[in-house]
Amino acid sequence: MSVTVSLATEPRTGTGSRAAHKLRKAGRIPAIIYGHKEAVVPVTVDAKELHRAIVLQHARVLDLKVAGKTETVLIRELQWDHLGSEMVHVDFARVSKDERVRVTVPIKLKNAPKSMGGGVLDQPFHQVHIECLAIAIPDEITIDITNLTMGQPIHVSDLQLPEGVKVLEAPEGVVVQLKLPGVEVAATPAATDAAAASGPEVIKKEKKVEDEEE
């Protein structure tokens, strides 16, 4: 399960791509804090500390120290450079720890089928939209495919979920299956309206990073 990590911030006064570039050279990442009908607050965070929180501690929720108080936030969007190697900007959305949020989490396959039966593994879903408490976001959803057989796919409704976690995709959606090579499979049902409305993935890599607001 994702952990909550504390992170210090510093106020940010400069705007525009030149100011942002200067901050990143100094080891700081420009960021904004918004939500809960409160003012948008521009800040900076230490790049190494943020990287450690996300990559090593798998944090989705942070306790940010802002101007003498603590703000609980969800990492709503993380932008990377065009090579996908350096963080360039992060959006933090205010949340309450007892608030339910919508995010995406990866699907992890465990083990291998006892018998492939001449089929190949097909995984239409590599991640799913979920709704859960902000402090209870799972790192991933694991599926044991040891007993997976031809003609018996694993559907969204078959997923074993932590308590309080709700998947927003259509229950009949096929998550993983065995199929014969070259055989076309019917399209997976689209996510429910609730999932579609949940917006982009919480942490995502941008193919192209736009300049910050002037």
* Domain ranges (residues) in the chain: 4-97, 101-196
Show Cβ contacts of residue 170 under 8 Å, excluding neighbours closer than 6 positions: 156, 189, 190, 191, 192
Per residue in 139-161, pLDDT tens?
999 999 999 999 999 999 999 99
Burial label for 180, CB within 10 Å (0-12, 13-18, 19+), is exposed
Q: Identical fold at 4-97 and 101-196?
A: no
pTM of the model: 0.74
Instruction: Name the CATH superfamily, with its identifier, for domain 101-196.
Output: Ribosomal protein L25, C-terminal domain (2.170.120.20)
Model confidence at 15, pLDDT cuts 50, 70, 90, reads confident
CATH code assigned to 4-97: 2.40.240.10
> Is the four-CA dihedral 151, 152, 154, 158 of positive or negative sign?
positive
Contact 83, 62 (CB under 8 A): no
Model confidence at 206, pLDDT cuts 50, 70, 90, reads very low
